[in-house]
Amino acid sequence: MLEIMEKLSHEGYEYLEEAAGDNTLHITEALDKGEVIGFIAYSYCGDHTVVYDYSDGGELLLCDGLVRSVMFKSCLKGIGKAVFRLQNESGYASLRKLRFLPPDSDTAEDLDSFMNGCENCKKQ
């Protein structure tokens, strides 16, 4: 069974601490039967969330779940924007394919409307 849980330490993710700088680094992992199969690393920075890196093992649905989990938590904190500052440029392709990001942009605007838009899809 897939679980998406926040990791309380940075063990194994120390290389991302420099990217976060003075911001508190958060790591959320995707676990399958207790085994880590993906992660997303991010910080809350005032009016926006910064995503530094993610790994989905090439699974588009896992990417979707990890990013949505961070967007949802951001919305709960009243944060309306996510900025992706990925170390690997190839990570942007999946984000654009899933329509988290518009072409030639690293920013997802109006997270609340985006998340509420998913509710409207269920009604159709």
Cα(28)–Cα(70) distance, integer angstroms:
8
* Closest C-alpha to 116, from 60, 68, 62, 54: 68
User: Is 29 among the domain residues?
Assistant: yes
12 found inside a domain: yes
- Domain ranges, residue 68: 2-114
Q: What is the pLDDT of residue 115?
A: 72
Is 121 part of any domain?
no
DSSP 23: S
pTM of the model: 0.89
Residue 119 lies in a domain: no
Handedness of CA 105, 111, 113, 116 (dihedral sign): positive
Q: The domain spanning residue 76 has which CATH number?
A: 3.40.630.30
Name the burial class of residue 41, with classes exposed (0-12), middle (13-18) and buried (19+) by CB atoms within 10 angstroms of its CB.
buried
88 lies in a domain?
Answer: yes
Q: Compute CA 44 distance to the chain's CA centroid, rounded to the nearest angstrom.
A: 11
User: Domains in the chain: how many in total?
Assistant: 1
The rounded average pLDDT for each run of 10 residues, N- to C-terminus, in the chain (124 residues) is 92 93 95 96 96 95 95 94 93 94 92 65 44
Structural domain contains residue 60: yes
